A and B are shown apart, each in its own frame.
Chain A
Amino acid sequence: MIRKLLAAASVASLCLVSTAMAQETINMWVRTGIGTAFTSLADAYNASHENQIALTEVPFAELVQKYATAIAGGQAPDALSLDLIYTPAFAAAGQLQDLTDWAKGLDYFDSLSPSHVTLGTYEDKVYGLPLLVETSVLAWNKGLYEQAGLDPEKAPANWAEVEANAEAIRALGGDNYGFYFSGGSCGGCMIFTFTPLVWASGADILSEDGQTATLDTPQMRAAVDIYRSMVEKDLVPESSATDNGVNFLSFTNGKIGHQSLGAFAIGTLVNDYPDIDFGVTMIPGVDGGTSSFAGGDNIVVTKDTPRLAAVQEFIEFAYSPEGQKILAENGSLPTRSDIAAQTLEGLDPRLQVAVDAIAVAKTPYTLLFNDLINSANGPWATFTNAAIYGDDVDGAFANAQAEMQSIIDNAP
């Protein structure tokens, strides 16, 4: 009897031990305000899986240096939802897990968002895979259009229309403004919302190999003129001039006529601001065409994490039809093109505009994205501030062009 009891007890304790060993908690960092799409996905994963995922929100502006510091201090999380533009730099530094074999073994690898996979690849190895896909699109407030006597269902097709409609909305008076952009010191916001004006017209701020700064073009000068004109006509709230990205979602206050936003903002508006009736259209170029920034996050895994299998299980859940549906229901775009139609079925039709934008969207590939573009003190952020709000436009172009090239030339 005693022997039987002992045997039962040891079996029970073995079961407990094996359960404890099987169950793992993935530590993952995400940027603050990542939106409901990803947190809903994580909640669904935690509810249906033995392994769990614990999210830590890190302020967007500090994410890169905090992660770098954590790696240096041996405190890095297992995985990170990393702005896709940083993936090449982190992969080049040798801190990320090579996911090539496993990733290419996924049946649907070829249908994953191509821009994300490109940015997630460094020297032919895959270090990052798409997690959240978004594109920049132009949103307009239908309620304000109606109040201003404009046709709320007619999307503005070019910048002349945007400006004219913005003037009509500003004429409503009070706190109503025609246009908004986080321009003061948010390089990341401006690459997302402003460069499509230039890309659509065939110009770019960097050469294709990323080795030459090509900022000073007629297209960029025309784009600057469009924004300057709206600022000078007081169509843009003055706080835009000092906005470091904190007010990026100003459109949600219901008093902004137009703003270029991302798919995540569509989700936020639909879920959290149901009173705002808005339309979404492609961002026009300065002289025709449309373009967009392919943004969002890649999931990257810290090199040699002990919980690699658990992270892979989570990624596969994110790519499953169930995971894709949860993301899409909360405003994020489908990561897999092979099940995109199925994923978007029955969802807000405005998401389709953002999905269509994937076809024309661009993402610069450079290891110096932080130095050149995202840093509040980098040449790009300085340029947009000086060119749009300053008095010396020519000087702004000359300084930024020279400093960009100098950073590229002096890169270690």
Chain B
Amino acid sequence: MSITAATPLAVAKPRRRARSSRQWQGLLYIAPAIVLVKIFFVIPVLFTVWMSFHNWPLLGEPSWIGLGNYTRMFSDTRFSAALSFTAYYTLIATIAIFALAFPLALFVQNERRGVSAYRTIFFMPVVVGLATASLLWVWLANVDSGLFSPILRMFGVTGRSANLLATFNNAFATIIVMVVWKIVGFTMIILLTGLQSIPGDLTEAARIDGASRWQRFRFLTLPLMRRTLALALILSVTGSVLAFDQFYIMTSGGPQNRMISVVYYIFNQSFVSFQLGYGSALSIVLLGILVALSIVQLWLLRVGDDK
């Protein structure tokens, strides 16, 4: 009995030691990443949470106010306006980006003459920084010296010069077009990767079985692309919810404060009104919103997997 009891132990022990050693090895490999994440994410987030419980002026001494900053949000109409504008922008930008990125990905999917050039052309704006792109578009959209106004006039879209950034609808449309121009190549590349990972013999078999082009896309390509689409969607939604540069640079949040995103509002509270405590509380709430959005999207993905 003692021998039988001892034997499995004797066998199990070195195996456990080996596993533990491998775990340590693995931990060692990711240690630098853990340290970096702690320094640049966990500690700042904890500090931000701490700040959010204070009245923390940029100049002067902070004082503890408990949940004061969080309760203040409920009556802050400018914050709710920023939230609804950000949701509206996220919706429109995401739809616009996907509506163009998917056809582009399908267009550059197959190897044929000149396809590399198309891929390069579509991807090129991605390498330009968003702030740089915004400044470029401010210049292009300038009513006196830019290029868009005379072009629109030439094609008869506007009778006289068009001040693209002066009214909400024009400025919003201009920013959406800029963002789509800037981002669509990135989304296209992600979707292209997904498309190319679909085994060719599957589509070939479907084709032989008599499935039409639309049926192959609807019942084969789309379901197999779900994970890739989810990744692109999460990236697009997160990017849009965190939008700041384009509104700050292209319209200064105008006309008439109607284009202030949540991040822009946090910036204003923190660095214009110098209320770092309130800015921190808003940041934590935004972080919560982003985590919730990502969880919902990942959950939707998992629900699909179970089927």
Q: List the interface of chain A (C-beta within 8 A of B).
A: 65, 68-69, 71-72, 90, 93-95, 184-185, 237-239, 241-242, 244, 370-371, 375-377, 382, 385-386, 389-390, 396, 412
Contacts and interface: CB of A to CB of B under 8 A. Distances in A.
Interface string B249-274: 00111111100100000001001111
Given A65-B271, A90-B59, A93-B59, A382 B144 contact: no
Best-surrounded residue of A71, A90, A382 (most CB of chain B within 10 A) = A382
What are the 7 A-B residue pairs with the smallest beta carbon separation, nearest first? A93-B59, A376-B252, A241-B166, A65-B271, A238-B143, A68-B58, A185-B252
Contacts of B161: 238
A389 B255 contact: yes
6 contacts: A95-B60, A184-B255, A237-B143, A239-B142, A239-B144, A385-B256
Contact of B256 (A69, A237, A382): A382
B166 A238 contact: yes
Interface residues of B, number: 26
Contacts of A93: 57, 59-60
Contacts of B273: 370-371, 375
A123 to B, nearest CB: 15
B228 interface: no
Given A185-B252, A238-B166, A242-B166, A65 B272 contact: yes
Nearest to B149: A238
Contacts of A412: 55, 57, 275
B163 A68 contact: no
Contacts of B271: 65, 68-69
A94 B59 CA distance: 8
Main secondary structure of the interface of A (DSSP, over half): helix
A93 B161 CA distance: 47
A85 to B, nearest CB: 14
A38 B143 CA distance: 34
Interface in B159-192: 161, 163, 165-166
Contacts, number: 84
A50 B91 CA distance: 62
Given A184-B255, A371-B273, 7 more contacts: A95-B59, A185-B253, A238-B144, A376-B253, A377-B272, A386-B255, A386-B256
A72 B163 contact: no
Contact of B58 (A69, A184, A386, A390): A69
A80 to B, nearest CB: 13
B59 A68 contact: yes
Nearest to B253: A377
A375 B254 contact: no
Contacts of A371: 272-273
A300 B256 CA distance: 33
A241 B256 CA distance: 11
Nearest to B76: A410
Contact of A237 (B144, B252, B260, B275): B144
Contacts of A72: 58-59
Contacts of B143: 237-239, 242
Given A65-B272, A93-B59, A239-B163, A184 B144 contact: no
B232 to A, nearest CB: 32
B166 A370 contact: no
A72 B274 CA distance: 11
A237 B253 CA distance: 21
Contacts of A184: 166, 254-255
Contacts of A390: 255-256
A247 B58 CA distance: 30
Nearest to B268: A377
Max count, chain A CB within 10 A of own CB: residue among B57, B143, B251, B252:
B252
Contacts of A370: 272-273
A311 to B, nearest CB: 20
Contacts of B166: 184, 238, 241-242, 389
Contact of A71 (B59, B163, B254): B59
Nearest to A175: B144
Interface string B58-88: 1110000000000000000000000000000
A238 B163 contact: yes
A110 B127 CA distance: 59
Nearest to A237: B144
Contact of A185 (B58, B163, B254): B254
Contact of A94 (B60, B253, B256): B60
A242 B253 contact: no
Nearest to B273: A371
A242 B249 CA distance: 12
Nearest to B138: A242
A260 to B, nearest CB: 20
Contacts of B274: 65, 68
